[in-house]
Amino acid sequence: MLTIRYQSESETERRKRIRKVLSILRNEFPQPSCALLHENPLQLLIATILSAQCTDARVNKVTPDLFAKYPDVGALASAPLSSLMEIIRSTGFFRNKAMNIHQCAQAIQRKHDGKIPRTMDELVALPGVGRKTANVVLGTAFGIPGLPVDTHVKRISNLLGFTDSENPEKIEQQLCAIIPKKDWTDASHLFILHGRKTCIARRPRCWQCTIQKRCPSRQG
What is the pTM (predicted TM-score) of this model? 0.92
For the chain, the domains span 9-33+147-214, 41-141
95 pLDDT band (50/70/90 cuts)?
very high
Q: Does 41-141 carry CATH code 3.10.129.10?
A: no
Distance CA 98, CA 104 (A): 10
> SS3 for 30?
coil
- Give tens-digit pLDDT for 104-126: 999 999 999 999 999 999 999 99
8 pLDDT band (50/70/90 cuts)?
confident
- Give tens-digit pLDDT for 24-77: 999 999 999 999 999 999 999 999 999 999 999 999 999 999 999 999 999 999
Class of domain 9-33+147-214: mainly alpha
Distance CA 18, CA 160 (A): 9
Q: Is the dihedral of CA 144, 129, 169, 195 positive or negative?
A: negative
Catalytic residues: 132, 150
